Amino acid sequence: MITGVVLMNPIKLDLTKLLGFRALKTKDALGAKQGAKLGGKAGTKP
């Protein structure tokens, strides 16, 4: 539900014009899909 704002115009986004979305061609952002890269020689503690 939208509060406090009347949505006058639909929001139309072109994924091909968006950094990080074009590479996936979906509404998922690239960073979210790839996740953080954690250097891990330290790795998981035994």
Size of the site for another protein (CB under 8 A): 38
| DSSP tag of 19 | T
> Could you tell me the CA-to-CA distances from 5 to 10, 12, 25 in Å, in that order?
13, 17, 30
Binding mask 1-40 for another protein (x = CB under 8 A): -xxxx-xxxxxxxx--xxxxxxxx--x-xxxxxxxxxxxx
What type of residue is 29? Answer: A
Q: Least distance to another protein from the beta carbon of 15, Å?
A: 8
Q: Write out the residues near another protein by the rule CB under 8 A.
A: 2-5, 7-14, 17-24, 27, 29-45
